[in-house]
Amino acid sequence: MPQVARIARRGTLTWRDLWHTPDDGNRYEIINGEVYVSPAPYVSHQEILRNLFVILHDHVRKHRLGTVLFAPLGIVLEKASAVQPDLIFIASARRSIIEDKAVFGASDLIVEVLSPSTASRDRGMKRDLYLRCGVAHYWLIDRRKGTLQALRREAGTYAVEAEVGARGTFKPALFPSLSIRLREVFARQR
Beta-strand pair 147-154/75-78: unpaired
Residue 118 has pLDDT above 70, yes or no: yes
Q: Which residues contact 67 (CB under 8 A, 6 or more apart)?
A: 60, 89, 90, 92, 95, 98
CB atoms within 10 A of CB 6: 11
Residue 88 has pLDDT above 80, yes or no: yes
pLDDT range class, residue 93, cuts 50, 70, 90: very high
- In a 13 Å sphere around the CA of 118, the CA atoms on its Cβ side amount to 28
Mean pLDDT of the chain: 89
Contact 30, 13 (CB under 8 A): yes
**pLDDT at site 7:** 47
pLDDT digits (tens, 9 = 90+) for 50-81: 999 999 999 999 999 999 999 888 899 999 88
Tell me what the mean pLDDT of segment 146-169 comes to: 94
d(CA 15, CA 76): 6
**pLDDT at site 11:** 62
All structural domains of the chain, each given as residue ranges with its CATH number in brackets, are 41-185 (3.90.1570.10)
Contact 57, 142 (CB under 8 A): no
Specify whether the backbone of 87 is left (phi greater than 0), alpha (psi in -120 to 50) or beta: beta
**pLDDT at site 23:** 81
d(CA 86, CA 170): 19
pLDDT digits (tens, 9 = 90+) for 3-43: 444 444 456 888 888 778 888 878 888 898 889 888 888 88
**pLDDT at site 9:** 47
Global pTM?
0.89
Main-chain phi, psi angles of 49, to 5 degrees: -60, -45
**pLDDT at site 178:** 96
